[in-house]
Structures are given as structure tokens and as C-alpha cells.
Amino acid sequence: MSERKVDQQLVARAQQGDKQAFGLLVAKHQRRLARLLSRLIRDPIEVEDVAQETFIKAYRSLPSFRGESAFYTWLYRIGINTAKNHLTASGRRARMSAPFAIQDTASFNGMEPLHDTATPEGELMSKEIALTVSRVMESLPQDLRSAIVLREIEGLSYEEIAEVMGCPIGTVRSRIFRAREAIAAELKPLLNTDENRRW
């Protein structure tokens, strides 16, 4: 049975008052949601609080969930909006809590392996690439950062990202393109890449 089918069954049971079914949804999606939120909020305690608030909002809104989208995309949307509201209320801008690991940078669509970590020079270059990507991601506007994280780190499709972010697919494509271009502009000098190369 597919992940989506399992979620649909759990949601249907939860909508009929089965709290254990909702508990299973929380257990299933808690880590993914926390990982997403940690890309927007620095403090791990705040991440935990916002994740808990997200699940509370999801539980309260469960009667209105019709299953037109996957449960996790619906949950991500609630999570991103809750994180934005939390940061706005505290007068802060979304920040990256965890720097990007080199595995994250290697997953960026269209980038072939950027480095050879088998040598000390390669390992140093890998760390420098990861730090550069983290720095650029930190500086991106929240909408661009959310879009690229949902695509490259969480692996969501453009359609799913559009649902999560509540915008047209064309806007998602544009945000991801702009984020990739910003990252590529900073990586080109490090990698001695052709000026006209696009990622």
C-alpha cells in the first residue's frame, strides 16, 4: 500500500474521532516536519513548539481536510504558515538552523558531483561548498528558500510545492530557478565553472 493510501486511511479514521490514528500520523510525519521547520527557525526548542502547534492546528482542521492533496503537503503548508506567523510575532526573519551538509548540496537538481572527498583537498573543498550553500540559503528570501528546500531536500514535486506554498506552479518554478541561480553564482568561482553554465 502506498504512503498516500496509508495516510488517507489514517486521516479517515482520525476524522471519525480515532485519536490513535492521528497519533500514528504525528509519529509518521514528526521528523520530516521538524526537519523542514529547522530550515526556517534556528532554535531547536522553538522548532519543537512550532511543530507541536502545527499538529494541533492540523488536528483542529482535520474535519475540513478532503484528501485532494497528500496529507503531508497539507501538513507542510500548515507548518510553513505557522513558522512564518511565529517569526513575524517575534519580529524575526526565517533563518537556517542547520547548515547544509555536503550530501544536501550534491542533491541539488542538475549538479553533478562537485567534489572528490577522498583527498584532504577534496574534503576541504566539500566543506567550503557546503558553507557557501548554507550562507547563500541563509540570505535568500523566505519564499525562495522554502521552495528550494521543499524541492531539493524534501524531494517534493512542483505540484506538491505549489500546494504547500499556495501559489501557481509557474511561481514555484521561478522561485526555484532564482534560488538555484543565486547558489550557482556563489559556487562558480569556487568550482572554476564556465560563466554561462546554468544549473
DSSP the chain: --HHHHHHHHHHHHHTT-HHHHHHHHHHHHHHHHHHHHTT-S-HHHHHHHHHHHHHHHHHHGGG--SSS-HHHHHHHHHHHHHHHHHHHTT-----SSPPPHHHHHTSTTPPP---TTSHHHHHHHHHHHHHHHHHHHHS-HHHHHHHIIIIIS---HHHHHHHHTS-HHHHHHHHHHHHHHHHHHHHHHHT--TT---
Asked whether residue 46 is assigned to any structural domain, the reply reads yes
- One domain for residues 186 and 108: yes
Last-in-domain residue among 63, 89, 115: 89
Q: What is the pLDDT of residue 63?
A: 93
- One domain for residues 45 and 122: no
Asked whether residue 198 is assigned to any structural domain, the reply reads no
Q: CATH number, domain at 171?
A: 1.10.10.10
pLDDT tens digits, 18-69: 999 999 999 999 999 999 998 888 889 999 999 999 999 999 999 999 888 8
Last-in-domain residue among 27, 59, 89: 89
- One domain for residues 131 and 60: no
- One domain for residues 106 and 177: yes
pLDDT band at 115 (very low <50, low <70, confident <90, very high): very low
For the record, the C-alpha cell of 7 comes out as 495516510
Last-in-domain residue among 89, 122, 148: 89
Higher pLDDT, residue 115 or 178: 178
Tell me the residue range of the domain where 169 lies.
102-191
- One domain for residues 71 and 12: yes
Asked whether residue 95 is assigned to any structural domain, the reply reads no
Q: What is the mean pLDDT of the chain?
A: 83
Rounded average pLDDT over 9-19: 94
pLDDT tens digits, 63-101: 999 888 889 999 999 999 999 899 888 876 544 444 444
- One domain for residues 71 and 108: no
- One domain for residues 135 and 173: yes
- One domain for residues 9 and 50: yes
